[in-house]
Amino acid sequence: MNIVILLGAPGSGKGTIAVELAKTAGIRHLSSGDLLRGAVKAGTPAGLKAKTFMESGNLVPDELIADMIADTVAADKETQTLLLDGFPRNVAQAEILAKMMADNGITLRCALLLDVPDAVVIRRISGRRVCPACGAGFNVDSMPPKQEGICDACGAALIIRKDDTPETVQHRLDVYAAQTLPLIDYYKQANALVTVDGSHDDLDAKVREALEKIS
Ligand code: ADP
């Protein structure tokens, strides 16, 4: 297995492109946010612990998310390329991941940075709607559901995530700047950073191109 780490601010499009890329055989999308939201919904001990951190836009403790990622990776024998979306989120998590990869013979293909200005990110997040039943994502500007407020996939009423309110979004961007931005230098120094301009719509094609170049 090799890993592609997706780096980018909240709303930079990591999730959207990962879902697209995961339609390709052998590529799997693993989103730390989705894992955590699943645990919260299921009421597991990890989920109960994570809930308040998440609702306030803060990071959950490193070991909590690292253990969930490790369990998922260990159970995965089929995947050739794993797209890690949302993990690592700080340098401590990057070190945990490096050890996990070394222990399991997993290689780092690259850290792919989606570079998007804050103003674009804020606009994208404010349009974001999700389906609480099946997890499908929409955007009122760029990817509206066929019927307003209703999930195309399962017909449930769409919601705005609790951490997508304007105050929490600003806080998440601050957390990103303080905790996650240092990872850009971390992976640059490891010669693993590939940067893609994520402010346009043809993002998926650009990401594929970038991945083809480094495979
Ligand atoms: P976004 O990238 O849009 O902020 P995510 O779905 O990746 O959203 O994450 C939602 C929340 O889940 C984060 O604000 C944080 O509380 C928690 N979270 C996700 N990944 C991590 C991580 N690697 N470390 C700590 N907390 C995380």
**Side chain identity at residue 204, one-letter code:** D
Report the DSSP beta bridge partners of residue 159: 130
For ligand 1, which residues put their CB under 6 angstroms from it? 10-11, 32-33, 36, 53-54, 57-60, 65, 86-87, 89, 93, 163, 172
**pLDDT tens readout for residues 32-68:** 999 999 999 999 999 999 999 999 889 999 999 999 9
Tell me how far apart the alpha carbons of residues 57 and 175 are, in angstroms, rounded to a whole number. 8
Cis peptide, bond prior to residue 88, ω within 30 of zero: yes
**Side chain identity at residue 162, one-letter code:** K
**Planar angle of CA 172, 176, 179, nearest 5 degrees:** 125
**pLDDT tens readout for residues 196-215:** 998 876 777 888 888 887 76
Instruction: Report the length, in residues, of the chain.
Output: 215
Q: What is the pLDDT of residue 201?
A: 67
Contact 125, 207 (CB under 8 A): no
Cα(7) to centroid(ligand 1), Å: 12
Cα(94) to centroid(ligand 1), Å: 15
